[in-house]
Amino acid sequence: MDKHIQDFLDYLLYEKKYSENTVQSYSKDLEQFSEYLSNKKVNYKTIDYSGVSEYLLYLGQNKYSATSTNRHLSTIRSFYNYLIDMKVVDSCPFNLVHGPKKEKKLPNYLKYDEFTSLIELCDETALGKRNRMILELLFATGMRVSEAINVKLSDISFKEREIKVFGKGKKTRIVYFNKVCQSVMSDYVLNARQELLKGKKSEYLLLNHLGNPITRRGIADVIDKLIKKSSLKHKISPHTLRHTFATLLLNEGMDIREVQELLGHERLSTTSIYTHVSNEELRRVYLQNHPRAHKK
């Protein structure tokens, strides 16, 4: 790997305090960019507008979505801004181009009865109780999967029904859980979790079948298996439960800024996508029920 790229990644990890997952994402983007330039025999210090345009064309030919392309460009721009600060280059050639416009995609979410149908598929075994714990936790708090897998027992206040969450950018926030989640969590911690530990010790709430902290992939597998057992047809991921949390709260009248706080969004514009979901549901119900909605 190029020395300047490695220095940039170290800067993100140790000075900017970015998470390892974020730095790994930057690393993959820059490795691909570096490999492309190497194949084209182009130096990143001297690449011009024409070379940048060709790279954009290359991303399109490799079926990069608008979202992936814009993220990729953002990584490269950050790298060049770092090089400018280090006096390696004078300017960022990627400021000369704009990425493709992103298609607005409404987040997928579950209706309440769809969520309860997944809960009913969790049996009374230790893993079944663990699986229900995962569903109830994500549904009750709206936390990211990356946050859920890092919850420790010491982060939880059962009395106040609160959890201290360490989110993106090492920022902490408090999320809350309901009485149903509290009951499920207590049963899991006192019984199923002890069975999964098999005499070992762990500070983490969610464990796999070996008694080790569960991974993001592990939670995704749990959701996938439950979906295959269910009658649900649309695409559902662990993040769908976060979407469901936000959408249901807004539908029930919670202020969008309060939802923003619970989700840990830095910008209100990120949370506002859920108001579009609520509006779309309102439109559907109107067209379905108004006596003149179907008349020409």
Using DSSP's 3-state secondary structure scheme, residue 68 falls into: helix
Report d(CA 18, CA 167) in Å as an integer. Answer: 11
Where does 110-266 show beta strands of DSSP type E? 156-157, 162-166, 172-176
Element (H, E) at 50: helix 49-61
- In the sheet where 156-157 sits, what is the strand order? 156-157, 162-166, 172-176
In sequence order, the 6+-apart residues with CB closer than 8 A to the CB of 253 are none
In sequence order, the 6+-apart residues with CB closer than 8 A to the CB of 98 are none
Q: Which residues are catalytic?
A: 144, 168, 239, 242, 265, 274
Q: Quick count: other Cβ atoms within 10 Å of Cβ 281?
A: 16
Report d(CA 14, CA 23) in Å as an integer. Answer: 10
The maximal CA–CA distance of the chain, rounded, in angstroms, is 70
Beta bridge partners of 162: 157, 176
Report d(CA 143, CA 199) in Å as an integer. Answer: 29
Q: Give 169's DSSP letter.
A: G
Report d(CA 32, CA 25) in Å as an integer. Answer: 11
